[in-house]
């Protein structure tokens, strides 16, 4: 059993590097996709939507009461999904084929995110927070490497996705031998509505946290340009945001040895909220934006760590958490966009800063209640 756990966790690190690269590669590839397929302005963005549709579908399926023999193959199916999707994208047969490939990539992303985060949270006891922060730090390293891979391939996304295919095929045998079901593999358990009601407040916190993470980096360049920063400088500060984000996740590996997960979530929301409010000053806005990356980095992995004890007996909580985060990733950037349309670009970070501080207050209430459940 110990060797299986070590194999699964080791495979998880490689798998998270894989999904970090695969997800982060879509954004910088959009201009090349427009040229490659002769698309109209903005049409290439459909590939992002296709990716997240696939991710949402796979997370929803993971939340069902599936037979344990199906869940046994989740790591292999996740890596195989990315291999199939990358094959479709690098083939350059047609734009429609690339969109289908993005759906498969998203399915792989969703399966691996739910499976390995849940496995790390439920299988290692007191070491779970450390492994969760390390696992998600590896994801950040992969995300930083995506633009470098595209640059190495002379800006050709089809070649970059071919490299991702090779990476996926290399780890597929290990993924097929891995079992991310954790210590409890029995069928049944509390139904999703019961789990949702019991953990509704921390699920709301996950909605806020992931929505905040995606919104801040998504709107960052636009807000900075509106404050007088050049587009090139805004892109450079966005890269620094990801550096701060990844460095903090690496640092959090050590911090989590002595600080409880709930406190790390609270600190992340508080720091992010204060930094976003500081961006209202144009002189400090770029630096406050970068510092906000360090704050939001603490939220996602430590949500899982906060629920690690509960996940031992309720493994489908992993699907609920990831699904809640995806809902936040869809809704909150849209709400921030509405704020921009009414009050200008700078209002996006004002809205997100207030939202982050509200999340910090909610986290503090849960900490005072001695756990992620305020009331039942």
Domain boundaries, the chain: 2-177, 192-368
Distance separating alpha carbons of residues 30 and 16, to the nearest angstrom: 23
Joined together, the tokens standing for residue 78 give 């996740």
CB atoms within 10 A of CB 102: 26
Assign domain 2-177 to its CATH architecture: Up-down Bundle (1.20)
Q: CA 206 to CA 121: how far, in whole Å?
A: 15
What backbone phi and psi angles, to 5 degrees, belong to 280?
-70, -20
Place of tokens 């399966």: 111
Tens-level pLDDT at each residue, the chain (376 residues): 456 788 999 999 999 999 988 888 887 787 788 888 888 756 777 887 788 889 888 888 877 766 767 778 899 999 999 999 999 999 988 999 999 999 999 999 999 998 898 888 888 888 888 888 899 889 888 877 877 788 888 888 899 999 999 999 999 999 999 988 766 544 545 677 788 788 888 889 989 988 888 788 777 777 888 888 887 787 778 778 888 988 998 898 889 888 998 999 999 999 999 999 999 888 899 999 999 999 999 998 898 888 877 877 777 787 888 888 888 877 887 788 777 777 777 788 899 999 999 999 999 999 988 666 665 4
Contact 136, 249 (CB under 8 A): yes
What was the pLDDT predicted at 288?
94
Q: What is the pLDDT of residue 275?
A: 96
Closest CA to 311 of 198, 176, 175, 174: 198
192-368: CATH superfamily? MFS general substrate transporter like domains (1.20.1250.20)
Structure tokens at 318: 């992993």
Fold matches, 2-177 and 192-368: yes
Residue-level length of the chain: 376
CA 161/CA 26 separation, integer angstroms: 10
Instruction: Provide the CB-side half-sphere exposure for 286 (13 A, CA).
Output: 19
φ, ψ of residue 255 in degrees (nearest 5): -60, -35
- Alpha helix (H) ranges present in 256-297? 261-278, 285-296
Asked if 72 contacts 62 with a C-beta cutoff of 8 angstroms, the reply is: no
- Distance (Å, rounded) from C-alpha 164 to C-alpha 355? 36
**Six-digit token string for 368:** 């005072």
pLDDT at 372: 66
Which among 304, 291, 30 is positioned nearest to 146, based on CA atoms? 30
What is the C-alpha to C-alpha distance for residues 78 and 66, in angstroms, rounded to an integer? 16
Provide the whole-model pTM: 0.78
- Among residues 213, 59, 48, which one has the least CA distance to residue 136? 213
């Amino acid at each position: 059993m110990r060797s299986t756990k070590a194999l699964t966790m080791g495979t998880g690190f490689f798998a998270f590097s894989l999904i970090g690269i695969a997800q982060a590669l879509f954004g910088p590839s959009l201009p090349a996709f427009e040229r490659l397929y002769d698309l109209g302005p903005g049409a290439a963005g459909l590939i992002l939507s296709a990716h997240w549709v696939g991710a949402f579908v796979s997370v929803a399926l993971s939340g069902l009461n599936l037979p344990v023999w199906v869940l046994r193959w989740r790591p292999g199916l996740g890596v195989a999904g990315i291999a199939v999707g990358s094959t479709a994208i690098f083939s350059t047969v047609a734009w429609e084929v690339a969109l289908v490939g993005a759906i498969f990539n998203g399915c792989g992303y969703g399966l691996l995110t739910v499976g390995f985060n849940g496995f790390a949270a439920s299988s290692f006891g007191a070491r779970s927070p450390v492994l969760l922060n390390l696992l998600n730090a590896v994801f950040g390293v992969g995300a930083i490497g995506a633009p470098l891979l595209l640059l190495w391939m002379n800006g050709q996304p089809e070649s970059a996705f071919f490299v991702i295919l090779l990476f996926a095929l290399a780890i597929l045998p290990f993924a097929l031998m891995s079992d991310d079901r954790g210590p409890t593999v029995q069928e049944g358990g509390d139904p999703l509505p019961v789990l949702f009601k019991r953990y509704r407040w921390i699920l709301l916190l996950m909605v806020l946290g992931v929505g905040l993470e995606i919104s801040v980096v998504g709107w960052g360049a636009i807000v900075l340009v509106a404050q007088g920063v050049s587009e090139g400088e805004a892109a450079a500060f966005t890269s620094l945001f990801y550096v701060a984000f990844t460095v903090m996740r690496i640092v959090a590996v050590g911090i989590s040895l002595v600080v409880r997960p709930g406190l790390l979530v609270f600190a992340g929301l508080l720091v992010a909220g204060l930094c976003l409010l500081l961006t209202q000053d144009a002189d400090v806005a770029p630096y406050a934006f970068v510092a906000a990356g360090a704050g939001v980095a603490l939220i996602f992995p430590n949500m899982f760590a906060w629920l690690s004890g509960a996940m031992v007996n309720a493994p489908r909580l992993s699907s609920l958490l990831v699904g809640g985060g995806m809902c936040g990733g869809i809704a909150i950037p849209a709400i921030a966009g509405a704020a921009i349309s009414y009050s200008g670009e700078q209002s996006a970070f004002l809205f997100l800063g207030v939202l982050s501080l509200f999340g910090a207050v909610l986290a503090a209430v849960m900490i005072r209640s001695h756990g992620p459940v305020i009331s039942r």
